[in-house]
Chain A
């Protein structure tokens, strides 16, 4: 197993309140890892540590260490903007820019200077849409507003936008919670294809989604990492009673 992320004793506090504590977790490369747990358990907080999205939150302090490959992402030589290009993110609610489909995808490559001319930029946009499984659906309307697409398509635009800057990791924070089952299935199938090239970490409230898409699952509860194991093991024979109670719907 090759680790993409290695986290050691990570603790995040918002002011005096500890959101997560003592999280030591190795995230395997090129697989999908699911983070599950009830609301407020710290799974999204942990996810946001991985590309320093918590930096922008006032009063948020982080202890412990997080390494991406061998690099300490909280080290002094790390530019958070560059880090977020390496570790892209897709949010719960699709949030395309109020721009054309083309410009949405081209936005990242433009600001990171990834294309030296228009032809290269076009290639990146087409490639990203292709990888996001959207090209056939939008090829004749690349200049249309992205906000005019369906919810599922908008979410795949956001995935294409993340892919366009050639990330190594894609973080997904409940990416399907606002989508219907068909759009959800398309995103899940896309995730399955993408994990050959990217490491994917998904936060989800859907047990079935975690079971369907991920190879590893981490269960968080009240800021602690309770259990981290192969997904099939977690869903057939969890080791911890709390995990069992949660995934079977026994938490009152």
Chain B
């Protein structure tokens, strides 16, 4: 892409982009810790995820301030405007991903005494699927890959399907084991993963919009969620 005549403007945009990429990397780290903490009942990794989330909040604020400054000083238009608008939306999505992971991690800590939860594996698989989807959405942004961004957007139904199946299994678990407290936490954990999936979809949508100026509005596969 041709550079702007104003080198300061170029630097602003590069800086904002680097912060988005940094947030993406952190999100991958957090969700990885969260997933493993569930699978292996690892409290230390859950604690780490909670701590890392603070960094995300800080980075989101930094991006917001930089975007506001760029809008005020540069009056961006066309692709610049779309990139800056998307930066706000994507950093917001990353921040929400961090919050949801933190929530999962905290619940994992509460479940740490429940060694015998046989459903851990299924929840980990949902988390792993969401993590892969998150990585694809980050890659679509960093590589400015419209095809991959569209794929992320289209594939959200797979996560929804997994969540729906897991929800059914959790209901059975709750009824069978009569573990209301742990069952409720697991339900919310599953729902949080499903929500993270929605945020990764949004990152794909915003990446697509930043590159093309078009919103992804075509019909995509959907799953009717239980809740």
Chain A: residues with CB nearer than 8 A to chain B? 207-208, 211, 235-238, 243-245, 247-252
Contacts and interface: CB of A to CB of B under 8 A. Distances in A.
Contacts of A244: 78-79
Interface residues of B, number: 16
A55 B110 CA distance: 86
Interface in B175-227: 213-214
Contact of B4 (A211, A236, A243, A248): A248
Contacts of B2: 245, 250, 252
Chain B interface, >50% SS class: loop
B207 to A, nearest CB: 15
Given A236-B213, A237-B213, A248 B79 contact: yes
Interface string B64-105: 000000000001111111100000000000000000000000
B213 A249 contact: no
B79 A208 contact: no
A243 B78 CA distance: 9
> Top 7 A-B pairs ranked by shortest CB distance?
A237-B213, A250-B2, A235-B77, A244-B78, A249-B4, A248-B80, A247-B77
A237 B106 CA distance: 44
B82 A249 contact: no
Contacts of A250: 2-5
A245 B78 CA distance: 9
Contacts of B9: 249
Nearest to B75: A208
Nearest to A247: B77
A245 to B, nearest CB: 6
Contacts of A245: 2
A249 B78 CA distance: 11
B80 to A, nearest CB: 5
B6 interface: yes
A203 B81 CA distance: 24
A248 B75 contact: no
A207 B77 contact: yes
B210 to A, nearest CB: 11
A245 B227 CA distance: 47
